[in-house]
């Protein structure tokens, strides 16, 4: 970022943002090469992002990429993508819709 190695000089937030940016670029690259979007797996990413970055990420993938998101809670995350999502809860080894 700005000519510097993010892994060495970036904050944790900058590192996460850079990793997500690369992941989103990969999605578009795969689409341009294959003609289909890949399935996107996001493991507990939303809880690590502020509201602006959550919205930006969800806006970017909305209606484009089938996405599986794991998180400890969706409380406080308000976005059209989640309103349309099918949410499964895992509690004590049991999965419920």
Number of domains in the chain: 1
Greater confidence (50 vs 23) lies with 23
**Domain-located, residue 1:** no
Q: What is the DSSP string of 22-54?
A: HHHHHHHHHHHHHSSPPPEEEES-GGGS-HHHH
Q: What is the pLDDT of residue 85?
A: 84
What are the pLDDT digits (tens) for 40-88? 998 888 777 887 888 888 888 888 899 898 888 777 777 777 778 888 9
| Residue 65 forms part of a structural domain | yes
Contacts of 95 (CB under 8 A, 6+ apart): 88, 89
**Whole domain around residue 48: which residue ranges?**
6-96
Query: Exposed, middle or buried by CB within 10 Å (0-12, 13-18, 19+), for 69?
Result: buried
Instruction: Look at residue 31 and tell me if it is in a domain.
Output: yes
């Amino acid at each position: 970022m700005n000519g510097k190695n993010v892994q060495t000089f970036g904050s944790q937030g900058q590192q996460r943002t850079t990793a997500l940016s690369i992941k989103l670029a990969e999605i578009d690259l795969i689409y341009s090469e294959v003609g289909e979007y890949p399935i996107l797996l996001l493991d507990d990413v939303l809880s690590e992002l502020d509201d602006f970055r959550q919205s930006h990420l969800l806006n970017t993938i909305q209606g484009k990429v089938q996405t599986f998101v794991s998180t400890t809670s969706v409380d406080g995350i308000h976005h059209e993508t989640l309103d349309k999502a099918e949410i499964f809860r895992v509690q004590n080894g049991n999965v419920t819709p």
